[in-house]
């Protein structure tokens, strides 16, 4: 097999370089996987390197498997002995061989995150803390964070201005480490940190591993953290060749430990290091690359490059500015349907809608369910299935139905009200004895075997429910304000604060605010509907199964899209405060802005054929302001979108006067969405006379709008099911 076939000059240079230390800056879509795999095949076939003298690090087991399969093809044999793995897999292999020097057996067990949390909780309870209390949660987070940095429990120094309860955390951590060792167990962090400990402290073992490998190759080098980099260096001797591939412009994981300085300072760490830049893109059109290049050029901390392509110029990047979230979503939907009708061999799986955060999926989920368009959320949870949304909906259902034991059971101890297993059992016994629901039992039965503290908290919950019910009867009060006050009174916002991951905490609160805004929008759109109608629709949304396979549109965050590509990319929610994210800008300043810009660059460069950028001027509860176009639009050379006159307070374009508001009937979502058809959007109807450019004249006998196909009986008597596109049919008669 010709290894060099279809390689451009820069790729060939990267594959065949003789440099000992090589940094390949591989722009998006520049064929880095091909280069990395071909480099390994070159070392084996042309240089004569024994396969087991080569080790390659990837960031996922899946990608390691894909590279192995490519190598089998390149080397034209099934048995490939090059070691390709993740850092953690490599660490496990090293420890299986040499961990005995640390007093462990080589048959150790690896604990996953759930096992780790369970052990820490057990220790915390033994030390007098609540199993799921705040201190225990803090201890789990603290231990995870310090171990990811490679710190040691028995040498850790308590900081004078460290975490609250840090001294207790360290004591729990020490006992956790003792029990791990006594059980001959390791957690995930240990796989790298203990490998480093052995290589640092045992010279003979270090030299053994160093002399096993002549070539070390690392993929996605921009995402490497400090511990991983330290492990790489410990595996090297003076003659080891280090070959790294990455793109500083795609460093988007610093929030989870990636250190962008590692790839940027590679030429300082290794004297005489060679840098090869791959700039030719094989994925996107010229219009898409032009926007991406202009955008990322605003970053200062980068290796300068300018992506180009030999592909056609393509379609201009489309920027769409709308007055509301619903119009933004509907515009995207219309573009997708237009593509399906007019593009040959189009599939919904060719489309991805990217957004900055998961809470932005709701308008799309609602609209696509209503239109019966198949979709899935990649790597995420559907909006109505998210924990905080199910919690708040349970609180809302209690307002309209005191007999809803499922909803009451879900929220009675969220936040904590002292309703543990024993208390709940007593409550259920009292409810059964008196033939009441659980909530009614709290309201009407005096002696239900609860502590006075629990009874007081349940009384406060009951009062909040009663007060909110009264307010809901008052048409003069703003519904969203009433609901927000209710969620505040029952203590749910305080409960969110117990989530120690601040990013998760912000997402949960944003999701609740989006739900409240959605209720308000629903009641405005369908004034004849009731609050209970909304809850019914929400329940039916939740009943829909996730689309696992087939022809579906993909919704995902930009972080999840890294490494993926689609023909048609829609980047939605491009407004200041959302993308770029306010918190990223406040927490990290210029560095935060640059990472947000890199994230947007990654979004742009996922597109093969067309790129659409959308935004809405509607008031956004998550950022507490109206939508202003993201700075990234103008930075990409796309110019500011045309915007109508703004509402002075909310930033929403003013509606034109004199327009009569037509009342709309609320959509009724059903478990079987085959009952709903979006025929109103469809260009053909039954009994239409049509003329196909190949099969001639005929009559439409059936339409299938959800598949954008029609059944036609032609004059020849032949019946065919065909794509309903003007590309294949002449204008309707």
Give me the catalytic one of 10, 23, 32, 283.
Answer: 32
**594 close to 377: Cβ distance less than 8 angstroms:** no
Query: Catalytic residue at 32?
Result: yes
Element at 242 (helix H, strand E): strand 241-246
Which residues, 6 or more positions from 183, have their beta carbon under 8 angstroms from its beta carbon?
109
Under DSSP, is residue 28 helix (H, G, I), strand (E, B) or coil?
A: coil
Under DSSP, is residue 180 helix (H, G, I), strand (E, B) or coil?
A: helix
Token pair recorded at residue 212: 């096993």
Query: Catalytic residue at 447?
Result: no
**Measured distance CA(117)–CA(150) in Å, rounded:** 18
Neighbours of 466 (CB within 10 A): 12
Under DSSP, is residue 216 helix (H, G, I), strand (E, B) or coil?
A: strand
Token pair recorded at residue 123: 């220790």
Give me the catalytic one of 138, 187, 220, 388.
Answer: 220
8-state DSSP, 619: -
Give me the catalytic one of 11, 86, 224, 250.
Answer: 250
**619 close to 651: Cβ distance less than 8 angstroms:** yes
Between the two ends of the chain, the Cα-to-Cα distance in Å is: 57
**614 close to 320: Cβ distance less than 8 angstroms:** yes
Which ranges of 76-106 does DSSP label H, i.e. alpha helix? 87-98
**366 close to 669: Cβ distance less than 8 angstroms:** no
**Measured distance CA(268)–CA(592) in Å, rounded:** 24
8-state DSSP, 221: G
Q: How buried is residue 443: exposed, middle or buried, by Cβ count under 10 Å (0-12/13-18/19+)?
A: middle
**Measured distance CA(684)–CA(679) in Å, rounded:** 8
CA distances from 626 to 107, 283, 353, 634, 710 (A): 58, 35, 22, 18, 43
Give me the catalytic one of 98, 168, 175, 219.
Answer: 219
Q: Which residues pair with 49 in a beta bridge?
A: none
Half-sphere exposure of 363 (CA within 13 A, CB side): 22
Give me the catalytic one of 417, 562, 598, 606.
Answer: 606
**353 close to 564: Cβ distance less than 8 angstroms:** no
What is the spatial order of strands in the sheet that 375-377 belongs to? 318-322, 607-616, 566-571, 351-355, 553-557, 375-377
Give me the catalytic one of 16, 20, 33, 49.
Answer: 33
Query: Catalytic residue at 219?
Result: yes
Catalytic residue annotation: 32-33, 219-220, 250, 606
């Amino acid at each position: 097999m010709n290894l060099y076939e279809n390689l451009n000059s820069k790729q060939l240079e990267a594959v065949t370089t003789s440099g000992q230390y090589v940094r390949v800056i591989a722009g998006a879509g520049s064929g880095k996987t091909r280069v990395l795999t071909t480099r390994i095949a070159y070392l084996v076939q042309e240089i004569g390197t024994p396969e087991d003298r080569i080790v390659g690090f990837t960031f996922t087991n899946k990608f390691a498997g894909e590279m192995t399969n490519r190598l089998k093809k390149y080397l034209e044999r099934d048995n490939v002995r090059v070691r390709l793995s993740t850092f953690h897999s490599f660490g496990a292999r090293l420890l299986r061989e040499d961990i005995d020097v640390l007093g462990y057996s080589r048959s150790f067990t690896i604990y996953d995150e759930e096992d780790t949390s369970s052990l820490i909780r057990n220790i915390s309870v033994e030390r007098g803390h609540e199993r799921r209390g705040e201190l225990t949660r803090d201890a789990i987070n603290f231990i995870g964070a310090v171990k990811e940095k490679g710190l040691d429990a028995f040498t850790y120094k308590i900081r004078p201005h460290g975490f609250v309860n840090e001294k207790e955390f360290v004591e729990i951590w020490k006992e956790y480490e003792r029990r791990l060792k006594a059980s001959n167990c390791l957690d995930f962090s240990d796989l790298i940190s203990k490998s480093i400990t052995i290589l640092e402290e045992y010279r003979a073992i270090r030299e053994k591993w160093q002399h096993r490998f002549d070539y070390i190759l690392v993929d996605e080098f921009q995402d490497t953290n400090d511990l991983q980099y330290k492990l790489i260096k410990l595996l090297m001797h003076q003659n080891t060749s280090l070959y790294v591939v990455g793109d500083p412009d795609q460093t988007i994981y610093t929030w989870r430990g990636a250190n962008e300085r590692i790839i940027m300072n590679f030429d300082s760490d290794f004297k005489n290091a060679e840098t090869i830049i791959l700039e030719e893109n094989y994925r996107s059109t010229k219009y898409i690359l032009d926007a991406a290049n202009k955008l990322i050029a605003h970053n200062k901390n980068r290796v300068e490059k300018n992506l180009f392509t030999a592909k056609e110029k393509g379609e201009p990047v489309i920027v769409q500015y709308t007055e509301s979230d619903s119009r933004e979503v509907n515009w995207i939907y219309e573009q997708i349907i237009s593509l399906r009708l007019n593009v040959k061999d189009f599939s919904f799986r060719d489309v991805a809608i990217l957004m900055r955060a998961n809470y932005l999926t709701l308008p799309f989920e609602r609209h696509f369910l209503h239109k019966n368009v198949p979709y899935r959320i990649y790597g995420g949870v559907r909006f109505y299935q998210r924990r905080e949304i199910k919690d708040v909906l349970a609180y809302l259902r209690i307002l309209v139905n005191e007999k809803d034991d499922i909803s009451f059971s879900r929220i009675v101890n969220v936040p904590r009200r002292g309703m543990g297993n024993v208390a709940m059992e007593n409550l259920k016994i009292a409810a059964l004895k008196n033939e009441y629901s659980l909530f009614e039992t709290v309201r009407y039965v005096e002696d239900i075997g609860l502590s006075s503290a629990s009874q007081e908290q349940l009384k406060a919950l009951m009062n909040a429910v009663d007060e909110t019910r009264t307010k809901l009867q008052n048409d003069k009060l703003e519904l969203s304000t009433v609901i927000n006050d209710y969620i505040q009174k029952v203590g749910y916002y305080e409960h969110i604060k117990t989530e120690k991951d601040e990013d998760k905490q912000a997402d949960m609160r944003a999701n609740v605010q989006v739900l409240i805004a959605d209720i308000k929008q629903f009641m405005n759109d369908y004034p004849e509907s009731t609050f209970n109608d909304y809850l019914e629709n929400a329940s039916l949304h939740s009943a829909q199964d996730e689309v696992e396979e087939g022809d579906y549109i993909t919704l995902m965050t930009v972080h999840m899209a890294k490494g993926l590509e689609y023909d048609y990319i829609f980047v939605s929610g491009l407004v200041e405060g959302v993308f770029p994210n306010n918190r990223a800008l406040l927490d990290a300043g210029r560095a935060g802005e640059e990472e947000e810009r890199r994230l947007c660059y990654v979004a742009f460069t996922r597109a093969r054929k067309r790129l659409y950028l959308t935004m809405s001027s509607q008031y956004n509860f998550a950022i507490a302001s109206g939508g202003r176009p993201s700075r990234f639009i103008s930075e990409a050379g796309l110019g500011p979108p045309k915007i109508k006159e703004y509402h002075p307070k909310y930033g929403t374009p003013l509606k034109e006067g004199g327009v009569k508001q037509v009342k709309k009937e609320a959509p009724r979502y059903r478990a079987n969405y085959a009952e709903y058809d979006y025929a109103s959007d469809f260009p053909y109807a039954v009994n239409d006379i049509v003329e196909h450019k190949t099969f001639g004249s005929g009559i439409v006998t059936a339409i299938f709008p959800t598949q954008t196909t029609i059944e036609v009986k032609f004059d020849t008597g032949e019946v065919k099911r065909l794509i309903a596109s003007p590309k294949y049919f002449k204008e309707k008669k």
